[in-house]
Amino acid sequence: MFKIRYQGRPLFITILGKRPYILSLANETLIEIGRYLDPCPQDLRNYMSTCHGLSGAGEYVRYNTVVVSGREGCLLLAMLVSGTHTARRYCERIQRLWFRGWHDTDMFLNSELLSETLPLLTNLRTLWIEASPRDHPAFAAFGPHDWTSQSSPLVLPNLKYLRLSGEFSMHKIASHRALTELDLNSIMDGDEFAAFLDSVQDTLLGRHVETLAIRLCQELDLDFAVPLLAQAFPVLSRLSFEQSSLDFIKFARALACDALALPRIQYILLNERLGRPISAAAGLLAQKIPDVEEIEPLLRRIHETRFRFESVGVGKVIWSIGLDGRYRKTTVNRRRSFWRDKFGQQFSSKLYPSPQRTFFIFQEE
């Protein structure tokens, strides 16, 4: 009999002869058991060391999410590109990767190894890159050196969720991919916004993105930006939009005046950072939150041609439609809990282990 502890309680696995009864369960069930044990690495290691069958099921939990950062990240990537049978098997397991290259002395080596590793991750679904590739030759795998191409030669057939934190030029990684969610953290000026829309128009990216998060400079006119954005992303259902001193009334009017724009929109989050304790000098805290009487008619007008439209939020303030068809204003203290399952769910830091733990797991094999 094999015993491990989960949440302070013993969990027994009975073994008869050489074959444990637990192996009679479906692989999906065995993987789910591994997910319950994942918060405690020691319990998961005990579970996987029981037999070969449980080791294979535990791999889907233990190796599906990795963080690449610093020296541990270099060693981890070096293991994955080593070409051994074990490395190839683990590359097939990885579905979520977070690359952290900011202010890192090993950034160049990490980036070069990352460009060699990504083509091996055939089942990668979520990619989060924090780096600045300007004049960085190691990012050649993401596109040509001059960054004039409208697409990236990197093949990632199963990539669905992409967050890019760094130079705007990295947006070409997303070009011509059938993504479900795209999050661009860099603030785009007018020329960059036009270049981004030009690379999206009538492409796989524009036709498939359902969740989009973008940041625009204050000089961009919303009457100009909103219709173009709606035209480039016709199936968009969730939009997170940030702009310093954003005029919420102007944004709502731009959307209400165009009945064909964003026909499938369901949730809109404006200036999400407004709810954070930041300096008023950033311009985000200075904007006026409209009253219900001022905004409710515009929201109902938007809903007339968009029956899926449910909620719109500005920081901690949320307007949601009720059973009577009217929008009501509420203020939530934990706004992130309201938006967590609507934006950036695949990028929650709780899903990612520490870089040291990730390296330790691979090293012990």
The pLDDT tens digits for 197-234 are: 998 988 899 999 999 999 998 888 888 888 899 999 99
Tell me, yes or no, whether 126 and 193 share the same domain: no
Residues 6+ apart with CB under 8 A from 164: 129, 170, 171, 173, 174, 183, 184, 185, 186
Q: Is residue 344 part of a domain?
A: no
Using one digit for the tens of pLDDT, what is the confidence trace for 118-159? 989 999 999 998 876 554 544 555 544 333 455 556 778 899
What's the confidence (pLDDT) of residue 264?
92
In angstroms, the CA 311 to CA 300 distance is 11
Tell me, yes or no, whether 189 and 262 share the same domain: yes
Tell me, yes or no, whether 220 and 326 share the same domain: yes
- Which alpha helices (DSSP H) does the chain contain, by range? 27-37, 41-48, 52-62, 70-80, 85-93, 107-117, 190-200, 204-208, 222-232, 248-256, 292-304, 335-339, 355-364
Q: Is residue 122 part of a domain?
A: yes
What's the confidence (pLDDT) of residue 148?
40
Tell me, yes or no, whether 282 and 202 share the same domain: yes
Tell me, yes or no, whether 185 and 328 share the same domain: yes
Tell me, yes or no, whether 56 and 142 share the same domain: no
Tell me, yes or no, whether 199 and 234 share the same domain: yes
- Name the residue among 364, 360, 355, 353 with its Cα closest to residue 86: 364
Tell me, yes or no, whether 76 and 157 share the same domain: yes
What's the confidence (pLDDT) of residue 235?
94
Region of 178 on the Ramachandran plot (φ > 0 left; ψ -120 to 50 alpha; else beta): beta
Q: Is residue 172 part of a domain?
A: yes
**pTM of the model as a whole:** 0.78
Question: What is each CA distance from 86 to 31, 34, 63, in whole angstroms?
Answer: 19, 20, 12
What DSSP state is assigned to residue 139? G
| Domain of residue 17, residue span | 2-62
Tell me, yes or no, whether 185 and 311 share the same domain: yes
* Strand pairing class (15-16; 19-20): antiparallel
Q: Which of 30, 45, 62 is the last residue of a domain?
A: 62
Q: What residue ranges of the chain have pLDDT lower than 50?
A: 15-17, 135, 137-138, 143-148, 274-286, 359-360, 363-364
Residues 6+ apart with CB under 8 A from 195: none
In angstroms, the CA 66 to CA 90 distance is 11
What's the confidence (pLDDT) of residue 107?
63
What's the confidence (pLDDT) of residue 136?
53
Question: How many domains does the chain contain in total?
Answer: 3
> Tokens 């490395």 appear where?
87
Contact 144, 172 (CB under 8 A): no
Q: Is residue 88 part of a domain?
A: yes
In angstroms, the CA 361 to CA 223 distance is 51
